[in-house]
Amino acid sequence: RPRVLSGIQPTADSFHVGNYLGALRQWVDLQATHETFYSIVDLHAITVEHEPKLLRQRTRVAAAQLLALGIDPERSTLFVQSQVPAHTQLSWVMECLTGFGEAGRMTQFKDKSGKGGADHTSVGLFTYPILQAADILAYQADAVPVGEDQRQHLELTRNLAQRFNSRFGKTLRVPEPYILKATAKIYDLSEPRAKMSKSSPGGSLDLLADVKASVKKIKSAVTDTEREIRYDEENKPGVSNLLSLLSVFTGTSIPDLEVSYQGKGYGDLKGDLAQVWAEFVTPLQAAVAGYLADPAELDRILSAGAARATAVASKTVADVYQKVGFLTV
Ligand code: TYM
């Protein structure tokens, strides 16, 4: 079976619908055909200022959400990144292969480091994409299911794997991004030309948010001053985003939705989306609460995952360390 690795940061109280449609839905589906490794990337979460207690809580909430969404810890290796030393061990070698300018061209770093000036931007935020490359390469992953915003980091990962292989001999598998076009970029409800993100909660649709509040958010989503329900990303980004969401949750194609909304208004579209959303998250929230009621069991699942992950990733580290000329222990 081909291998998959992906990761998600425990940096918010809830995942949002962009995380789900851009990545997590594919995580669940790929379990049927691939050997899957899924990581809650807490090392990445400390690249910006954080609260330790909150990080610990959010790591468990992240695990509970993944399990509730259908990540099966028997079929997938579900683990917390900091519990597997191979990630940081491999990351150092990858840092030494990365050009300073090359790292400086990462657009996510440029976006995130803008605020607060140079002394508020950690070196960890700068090397973040290199740690991400190590996450992927440590498992010799063939495919990496992510949203569009991760494409550049995957390109760096591929370049680093190829660079390592050409300098030290074939060692690392060169991974392919797995990005589904229809859901690669979900937009903010209140600012539909911007990507939905954990850092602008005003326009994000969160899996664990109060259902009534989410219904309200959907109903006040920004659209446009026309009346026609038509998919047109350029001129009607808000309506197009709502159509995309409704299309995936109902399994109806966008052209079919356009036909069925002829003569109807934005209120109808929003009402229908609100309803499918409520139907989706209500049982999900109950399942998450169930997992969170037994944190010891959650921690046990994650420890078992870390042991399995370590067994695989430490082999790559041993191979890489030998190839670069370190003495073997
Ligand atoms: P993170 O935690 O920001 O997001 C998790 C996943 O959600 C996707 N995503 C979106 N997809 C569509 N529309 C959106 N609006 C949207 N917002 C987020 C992201 O593309 C991602 O797939 N750097 C990664 C975490 C990471 C990782 C890895 C991923 C660390 N190591 C190794 C893959 C492999 C990140 O910040 O994801």
Catalytic residue among 185, 198, 216, 236: 198
Say if residue 197 carries a ligand binding annotation: yes
Q: Ligand 1, residues 3, 4, 5, 8: which to mutate, most atoms within 8 A of Cβ?
A: 8
**pLDDT given at position 168:** 98
pLDDT at 68 over 80: yes
Say if residue 135 carries a ligand binding annotation: yes
pLDDT digits (tens, 9 = 90+) for 92-117: 999 999 999 999 999 999 988 876 67
For the CA of 183, the nearest atom of ligand 1 = 12
Q: In this prediction, what percent of the chain has a pLDDT beyond 70? A: 99
Mean pLDDT of the chain: 97
Q: How confident is the model at residue 28 (pLDDT cuts 50, 70, 90)?
A: very high
pLDDT digits (tens, 9 = 90+) for 36-46: 999 999 999 99
- The finding on whether 185 has its CB within 6 A of some atom of ligand 1 is yes
**pLDDT given at position 119:** 77
pLDDT at 118 over 80: no
Query: ipTM exceeding 0.95?
Result: yes
- The finding on whether 150 has its CB within 6 A of some atom of ligand 1 is yes
Name the residue with the closest Cα to ligand 1, atom 19.
147
Q: Model pTM?
A: 0.97
Largest CA distance in the chain: 73
| 195 catalytic per annotation | yes
C-alpha 175 – ligand 1 centre gap (Å): 16
**pLDDT given at position 327:** 97
Could you give the C-alpha distances from 145 to 87, 184, 187, 214, 308, in angstroms and in order? Answer: 19, 10, 19, 27, 20
| 185 catalytic per annotation | no
**pLDDT given at position 116:** 66
Higher-confidence residue of 199 and 259: namely 259
| pLDDT mean over 71-95 | 98
